[in-house]
Structure 1
Amino acid sequence: MSIILIADSGSTKAEWCLLNGKTKKTFITQGLSPYFLSSRQIQDILETELKPKMKNIQPDTIFFYGTGCSNPANKKHVQQAIKNTFGKATIKVDHDLLGAAKALCGDKKGIACILGTGSNSCYYNGKTIVKNSPGLGFILGDEGSGAYLGKKVVQYYLYKTFDADLMDRFNAKFNTTDIEILDAVYKKPLPNRYLATFTSFLVENRGHYMIENIIEDAFNDFFFHHVYKYSESWKMPINFVGSVAYGFRDVLKEMCAAYELQLGQVIKRPMDGLIRYHSK
């Protein structure tokens, strides 16, 4: 029986599942984003973080769904790193958005949205992505994502827009300075991951009007710039996957109701859906 390795990789972490007959084992490594890591760095992560956990089991087929892999150059970049690590396997590299669509919709039509460290969306026809509202990354886009929400938290803090209570809570939680924040964003690697860590402040302070405004504004931006761009949004379910979507699923439910849209699935991680899809 064929041994299958499935990967779903965002910017922050990658989840892997090894399917060997009826046995399945899952592993976590850091995210493998070709925007931030060279092919050599990706290979090093596979060699040091993944292969030891697999205990010398060699997959026959690898399905890798990763952030940034809609770009042909990035796709080749990742494929080469995987091939150098698992030379004998048949390797299929696709965008994480297609993985999300397969996990959320299976073989059915629908709108699939990712709200994690980054954000993206598409109209999926049951087989492939037909329409995709451009994802511009955390500097120009990523509306509704962890990086986008975290950026708003940092702005409110640095501009001293938060009231005294929230300023005190922020200082107690993060114990940082303006200089440290700016250095991390502008001088250190992986600023999108860094910004996304501030999303936890929103989770812990739900109910405060400033916190609720940040969350609602971020998701309104996502709906306006992306979900609204699909004429299919008013005809079929809007599905979401990702830690941010799952953590704020109550807000998504309210927004879909307000916009007269049909809310579909909201799941934290796509792996269970990808296992079902590739086990057929």
Structure 2
Amino acid sequence: MPGKIKLIADSGSTKAEWGLLGAAAPGPYKTQGISPYFQTLDQIKAIFTQELIPQLPAGVHIDEIYFYGTGLSQQKNIEVVSAALRAVWPDSYIEVDHDLMGAARALCGHGAGIASILGTGSNSCFYDGTRIKKNNPGLGYVLGDEGSGAYLGKKVLQYYLYNTFDEELIGKFDEKYSTNKDEILENVYRKPLANRYLAGFATFLSENRGHFMIENILEDGLNDFFFNHIYKYRESWTTSLHFTGSVAWHFRDILKELCDLYELPLGRILRTPMEGLIEYHH
């Protein structure tokens, strides 16, 4: 008798990654991110039907769905995403949880550890192997998100708009982005999804590694994450620190340096949680 086919989703606010456990074509598949803070039920459903389903193997029957996503610590947001999933896959078992639980299961498996997300946004928790026992509050990109793509991208824009960058970096910025102060402020203060917009400027950092101003932004931004989040867990000194997300992956050398500097035990660093979630749900 064939095993169950499980659809596993890990969604940030910018992009979502999907895996099919038990299917001949396991993926990963990619769609735009799903955030019930910014999208309606119908918009989320449209992402499933227009972006995801055309990628899946024709006629595949999905028995179980495990969806981990941003903004899903609030019950009303869980209900929106659950309803959208049920509308498309009415016969499937559906479990919806927040992205931090997904990260914890992916990074720690069934063991204890500090699990941190450093992507478009940032978050962290102490996970005991079953449950999230402690979670420093996530304050979003305006008040918090230290070490995230949005946080680092905001620093890039500040350095550019304040004319703090030297001529070399200003020239590289102008060549790459062809923008101006008015356009930047319009996108940040008047248009939707400003966090995605800000995070888009973090790539400027990875493309210009080695310049002292770039390294300062990265070291200060990631150190802010350690100070405001990692330090708040006394377990940080006795259990491994694990990280996932694009920022964590691209700047993993700095995470290692900070862990060495503060004598903290570094664990896994995954580009995305999907590899770990496939292991967990196998």
**Offset at residue 3 of structure 1 (A):** 1.3
**Offset at residue 139 of structure 1 (A):** 0.8
Higher mean alpha-carbon deviation, 49-58 vs 101-110, is at 49-58
Corresponding residue number in structure 2 for 1:167? 170
**Offset at residue 24 of structure 1 (A):** 2.0
Corresponding residue number in structure 2 for 1:106? 109
C-alpha offsets along residues 7-39 of structure 1, whole Å, 9 cap, x if unaligned?
000111111111235652321000001111111
Equivalent residue letter for 2:53:
K
Equivalent pairs, count: 279
Residue 35 of structure 1, aligned match among 34, 37, 40: 37
Equivalent residue letter for 1:194:
Y
Corresponding residue number in structure 1 for 2:236? 233
Separation in 1, partners of 2:211, 2:22: 48
Residue 127 of structure 2, aligned match among 99, 102, 124: 124
Structure 1 alignment gaps of length 5 or more: none
Residue 201 of structure 1, aligned match among 193, 200, 204: 204
Residue 214 of structure 1, aligned match among 209, 213, 217: 217
Structure 2 alignment gaps of length 5 or more: none
Q: What's the C-alpha RMSD, in Å, of the aligned pairs?
A: 1.1
1:133 maps to 2:140? no
Corresponding residue number in structure 1 for 2:82? 79
Equivalent residue letter for 2:246:
S
**Offset at residue 275 of structure 1 (A):** 0.5
Separation in 1, partners of 2:23, 2:167: 57
Corresponding residue number in structure 1 for 2:251? 248
User: Quick check: 1:58–1:86 contact (8 Å CA) kept in 2?
Assistant: no
Equivalent residue letter for 1:16:
W
Equivalent residue letter for 2:54:
P
**Offset at residue 112 of structure 1 (A):** 0.3
SS in 2 for 1:198: helix
Separation in 1, partners of 2:27, 2:124: 29
Separation in 2, partners of 1:56, 1:154: 47
Separation in 1, partners of 2:279, 2:116: 19
**Offset at residue 245 of structure 1 (A):** 0.3
1:95 maps to 2:98? yes
Separation in 2, partners of 1:23, 1:192: 33
SS in 1 for 2:104: helix
**Offset at residue 256 of structure 1 (A):** 0.6
Corresponding residue number in structure 2 for 1:257? 260
TM score, norm. by length of structure 2: 0.97
Separation in 2, partners of 1:42, 1:17: 18
Separation in 2, partners of 1:22, 1:181: 45
Percent of matched pairs sharing the same residue: 58
Separation in 2, partners of 1:76, 1:66: 13
Separation in 2, partners of 1:184, 1:270: 29
User: Quick check: 1:69–1:75 contact (8 Å CA) kept in 2?
Assistant: yes
Separation in 2, partners of 1:259, 1:77: 41
TM score, norm. by length of structure 1: 0.97
Separation in 2, partners of 1:113, 1:21: 30
Separation in 2, partners of 1:24, 1:200: 29
